[in-house]
Amino acid sequence: MSSLLIDNIGELVTNVAGTGEGGKLGIRRDAAILVEEDRVAWLGPARYAPAAARRIDADGAAVLPGFVDSHAHLVFAGDRAAEFAARMAGQPYTGGGIRTTVAATRAASDDTLRGTVRRLRAEALRQGTTTIEVKSGYGLNVADEARSLRIATEVTGETTFLGAHVVPTEYADRPDDYVGLVCGPMLHAAAPYAKWIDVFCERGAFDADHARAILTCGQAAGLGVRLHANQLGPGPGVQLAVELGAASADHCTHLDDADVDALAGSATVATLLPGAEFSTRSPYPDARRLLDARVTVALATDCNPGSSYTSSMPFCVALAVREMGMTPAEAVWAATAGGARALRRDDVGVLAPGARADLMILDAPSHLHLAYRPGVPLIRQVLHNGVPR
Ligand SMILES: [Zn+2]
């Protein structure tokens, strides 16, 4: 059996609450971690470390669970840099640019889409992301939604059918018919490649009745539920997510007290996507309010070509701390263990015996540096499935 010992770890973030310093982060000092195959086999004080076939000297650095990016749209063609520039010159974001990407995606070859997905997956891995969720949503017809998901399965098991991203142009005057297509032939073609189903529940996209119909069909087909909710304005999305037992309500930028209460009393994670507010120059969600109400919060990138073209979880951590009222510890937890909760996973986002050996070694002595040194490439090395990358 191949074994690998990482020792001389100055700060080991385990996310096992109550086992060390830092509350939920479960920080251990002067630690070592033993990896066998793709799993964590042991961790503890460096002086008790068992022997192993190979060794990595962390040289006093911090070691953390790999980031769990629970919200990304990687299957697309084209870019929308000009739209970004126009927004920065004062035009508002409406979500309408999604249709531009749909046209480019439909016209692209499999290899073009596959190249983009792999490039972005590799880019995220270099920045510490060991688990990533990938949505469809730029095909919006039966063949292109199924194709998008099939390509997504080549890089992740966390795939999400988002046929209800927007109503495509050809259905603009008959949205009920499009909902019927999504619930019927499109879901049938997509489900073999999807673990989750998602809807963009927003003014200009899908209302609560349409979203409920689509998500209920997805549940009946065996898919887990997640939802784009309350991004551009107040709305019914968060309440619907809680009603349907969704794993996650994503964005949560515009919440009223009833929304916060509903989340607090549920198993639905609030996934915050500050890259979207950054890239659309919009007000950030109030993470402090959610945390104070004991809502479980995750951070994710929303990586997509329109409203958040970043794959960087460290960037999202820095934004969450600077702009959303989170402490560095809360943001790091939300970007690792929080993301795992949003995907209903207990084998990632945590370092403990039996967990997946997905971790990162920083070029820094502490997790604090992820927010303290924004924009700096601090990920020295990543282990994914126990393999150094
Ligand atoms: Zn999204």
Q: CB of 286 within 8 A of CB of 274? A: no
CA–chain centroid gap for 314, Å, is 12
Mean pLDDT, range 71-93, rounded to an integer: 92
If you measure from the C-alpha of residue 5 to the centroid of ligand 1, how many angstroms do you get, rounded to a whole number? 38
Tens-digit pLDDT profile for residues 188-233: 999 999 999 999 999 989 999 999 999 999 999 999 999 999 999 9
Question: Does residue 326 register a pLDDT over 80?
Answer: yes
d(CA 216, CA 280): 31
Cα-to-centroid distance, 329 and ligand 1 (Å): 25
Phi, psi of 331 (to 5 degrees): -70, -40
CATH 3.40.50.150 fits 68-342, yes or no: no
267: left (phi over 0), alpha (psi -120 to 50) or beta: alpha
pLDDT band at 1 (very low <50, low <70, confident <90, very high): low
Q: Binding site membership: which residues?
A: 71, 73, 80, 138, 165, 228, 231, 302, 304, 306-307
pLDDT at position 95 over 80: no
CA of 39 to the centre of ligand 1 (A): 31
Give the per-residue pLDDT at 380. Answer: 98
Given a cut of 90, is residue 98 above it in pLDDT? no
Taking the C-alpha atoms of residue 206 and residue 175, their distance in angstroms, rounded to an integer, is: 9
How remote is the CA of residue 207 from the centroid of ligand 1, in Å? 16
Question: What's the gap in Å between 361 CA and the centre of ligand 1?
Answer: 28
Residue 165 CA to ligand 1 centre (angstroms): 9
Please tell me the predicted confidence (pLDDT) of residue 22.
85
Rounded-to-integer distance, Cα 33 and Cα 27, Å: 13
User: How many angstroms separate the CA atoms of 103 and 107, rounded?
Assistant: 6
* Residue 20 confidence (pLDDT): 82
What is the 174 CA–ligand 1 centroid distance (Å)? 24
Give the residue numbers of the binding site for Fe(3+): 71, 73, 228, 302
The rounded Å distance from CA 180 to ligand 1 centre is 22
Measured in Å, residue 288 CA sits from the centre of ligand 1 at 22
Comparing C-alpha atoms, which of 255, 237, 171, 141 is closest to residue 198? 237
Mean pLDDT, the chain, as a whole number?
96
List beta partners, residue 379: 362
What's the pLDDT band for 92 if we cut at 50, 70, 90?
Answer: confident
Rounded CA separation 45/374 (Å): 30
Distance 67 CA to ligand 1 centre (A): 18
Q: Which residues contact 172 (CB under 8 A, 6 or more apart)?
A: none
Q: How far apart are CA 18 and CA 24, in angstroms?
A: 7
Fold topology of 3-66+350-388: Urease, subunit C; domain 1 (2.30.40)
Question: Domain coordinates of the chain in residue numbers?
Answer: 3-66+350-388, 68-342
> What is the spatial distance between Cα 329 and Cα 323, in angstroms, rounded to a whole number?
15
Distance 311 CA to ligand 1 centre (A): 13
296 pLDDT more than 80: yes
Annotated binding-site members for N-formimidoyl-L-glutamate: 138, 304, 306
Which amino acid appears at position 91 of this protein? Answer: Q
Distance 271 CA to ligand 1 centre (A): 10
Rounded alpha-carbon distances, angstroms, from residue 308 to 164, 302, 326, 371: 19, 6, 20, 19
Q: Do domains 3-66+350-388 and 68-342 have the same CATH topology?
A: no
Q: Which residues surround ligand 1, an ion (CB under 5 A)?
A: 302
Could you report the per-residue pLDDT of 116-168, keeping only the tens digit for each?
999 999 999 999 999 999 999 999 999 999 999 999 999 999 999 999 999 99
Q: pLDDT category, 99, cuts 50, 70, 90?
A: confident
> Rounded to an integer, what distance in angstroms lies between the CA atom of residue 101 and that of residue 166?
11
Tell me how far the alpha carbon of residue 228 lies from the centroid of ligand 1, in angstroms: 6
Q: Are 337 and 381 in contact, with CB atoms under 8 Å apart?
A: no
